[in-house]
Structure 1
Amino acid sequence: MNCVEKELMSSILFKGLTAYFSKKTPSFVVKLWRMYLLFSWILQAYCIEEVYGGEVIFVPAYRKPDIWFGIDKKLIGKKNVLHERWIYDSILLHKRLPFNDYYIINKSSGFLKFIKTSNYTAYR
């Protein structure tokens, strides 16, 4: 099973089980569910690191990143647009990630960008 298939399964499970668990659920089940989400996020990060050489991280939008790499949030919008475009084009080019909404974090520059790739499913 490749990275994309694992991420797709993880996404489907997340949506379905979250709806199921929204009713009253024993706390141990919720803890198990949170552990599963953490494990799938780590696995996804490893797969993405494999594809993109570890410099660029894609964080699913349902997991807002708490790490801003020391950059003031006001400055994030003023980052280099060409750099943003390169990252976005690389997603369309490789087509190895599912088209959902992602935060993109570049570790070297501390660049953070939210993109709504679900609007561009026609390009798949």
Structure 2
Amino acid sequence: MARSMLVISRQAPWSGLAAREALDIALAGGAFELPLALLLLDDGVFQLSAGQRPESLEQKDLSANLKALPLFGIETIHVARDSLVQRGLDIDSLGHPIELIEESRLGDFIARFDHVVTL
């Protein structure tokens, strides 16, 4: 049986390479049919914001990577509810299917996976 992996992305898409690297790991794991999930915490939730203009910061747009996740077996992006609320993001305005996880359940959720990668 394949070992499961959780990729946790905590960085905003404009704060460096960590957000892109987290998505790349998720896509690569999905290409090898590894059971995995993606969890956005803290500033990582900004990856779901619509209307980003990464070119103004000489960054690449991550929205195509997010849209490709279902092709690699990741149907839902898991998101910490508190992270969305603290950053003033409206759940209804996000352009991707998400599953909200309450802060009190994060530990149980993370414990379900054999390997955890945090970026």
TM-score (norm 1): 0.28
| Higher normalized contact order (CA 8 Å, seq sep 6+, divided by chain length) | 2
TM-score (norm 2): 0.28
Q: In proportion to residue count, which structure has more strand?
A: 2
Q: In proportion to residue count, which structure has more helix?
A: 1
Between Structure 1 and Structure 2, whose CA radius of gyration is higher? 1
